[in-house]
């Protein structure tokens, strides 16, 4: 499943960019099929998390891209492959995070700091320190630190690939804040940390309600 997810993301973004007529439709269908296959083979708790990821990611895309204008997709829309793509990337992150050694998350944070600082000092990415601070806050308050470090690197890799291919582009000037942003910001993975906090909170709340309902029956 991991290799299939990587192939779906890498080949899908290439098809979306280079197959102008039908690429986005075909990639969207493929992403949803893989996402549904993942759903089918997952246990109940994982299904709750995947559903929460899909819901929060969709809402986040609508806000960050359409409302805030932080980045824009090639056709000015939100491609239908994007929400399930977030689910696939998140699931892949949970798998990779299991292999991260103890305290590896702090090594990722330490390696990222000088790059974020350099880009901010040169004025290329003054949004970076804000996102990096959000990343550190998530590392501090949650036990899912290895997942956050994984998503920090994994999402940066996807952002570099997607922006290089031209599937989307980040605004050079951040709306509302007036900060500069690289294309992509180095600490864009901080958004995935917030996404996981929301997923864990939603999953815990749903399981708590189900537990209470079973006690009443």
What are the pLDDT digits (tens) for 172-200? 999 999 899 999 998 998 998 888 888 88
Q: H-helix or E-strand containing 170?
A: strand 168-170
The pLDDT assigned to 196 comes to 83
pLDDT, position 127: 95
Provide the residue range defining the domain that includes 144. 2-216
pLDDT category of residue 146 using cuts at 50, 70 and 90: confident
Residue 197 CA, distance from chain mean position? 12
Q: How far is CA 141 from the centre of its chain?
A: 19
pLDDT of residue 133: 95
| Lookup: tokens for 108 | 């990722």
Query: Is the four-CA dihedral 102, 107, 109, 110 of positive or negative sign?
Result: positive
Q: How confident is the model at residue 35, as a pLDDT?
A: 95
Query: At 198, phi and psi to the nearest 5?
Result: -65, -40
Query: Does the pTM of the predicted model rise above 0.75?
Result: yes
Distance of alpha carbon 100 from alpha carbon 91, whole angstroms: 15
Mean pLDDT of 62-68: 95
> SS3 for 164?
helix
| Residue of 67, 63, 60, 66 whose CA lies nearest to 83 | 60
> Which residues are 169's β-sheet partners?
72
- The answer to whether the beta carbons of residues 50 and 91 sit under 8 Å apart is yes
Comparing 99-113, 137-151, 198-212, the range with the smallest average pLDDT is: 198-212
N- to C-terminal Cα separation, the chain: 38
Using the predicted structure, report yes or no on whether residue 142 has a pLDDT greater than 80. Answer: no
- The pLDDT, as a whole number, for residue 13 is 94
Crossing angle of helices 44-61 and 23-40, rounded to 10°: 150
The mean per-residue pLDDT over the stretch 14-32 comes to: 90
The total of structural domains in the chain comes to 1
d(CA 198, CA 88): 17
What span, in angstroms and rounded, lies between the C-alpha atoms of 187 and 212?
39
Residues 6+ apart with CB under 8 A from 108: 149, 152, 153
Token pair of 186, please? 């180095």
- Whether the pLDDT of residue 216 is over 60: the answer is no
Q: What is the mean pLDDT of residues 136-161?
A: 88
Can you tell me the mean pLDDT for 127-140?
92
Strand partners, 170: 71
pLDDT at 139 over 70: yes
């Amino acid at each position: 499943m991991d290799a299939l997810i990587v192939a779906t993301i890498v080949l899908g973004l290439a098809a979306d960019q280079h197959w102008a007529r039908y690429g986005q439709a075909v990639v969207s269908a493929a992403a949803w099929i893989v996402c549904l296959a993942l759903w089918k083979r997952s246990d109940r708790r994982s299904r709750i998390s995947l559903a929460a990821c899909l819901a929060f990611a969709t809402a986040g895309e609508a806000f960050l891209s359409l409302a805030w204008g932080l980045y824009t997709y090639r056709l000015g829309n939100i491609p239908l492959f994007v929400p399930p793509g977030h689910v696939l990337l998140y699931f892949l992150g949970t798998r990779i995070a299991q292999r991260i050694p103890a305290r590896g998350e702090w090594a990722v944070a330490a390696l990222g700091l000088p790059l974020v600082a350099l880009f901010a000092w040169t004025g290329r990415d003054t949004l970076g320190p804000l996102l990096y601070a959000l990343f550190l806050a998530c590392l501090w308050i949650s036990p899912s630190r290895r997942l956050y470090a994984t998503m920090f690197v994994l999402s940066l890799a996807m952002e570099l690939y997607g922006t290089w291919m031209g599937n989307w582009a980040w605004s050079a000037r951040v709306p509302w804040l007036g900060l500069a942003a690289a294309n992509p910001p180095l600490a864009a993975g901080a958004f995935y940390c917030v996404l996981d906090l929301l997923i864990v909170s939603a999953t815990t709340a749903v399981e708590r309600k189900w537990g209470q309902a079973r006690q009443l029956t």
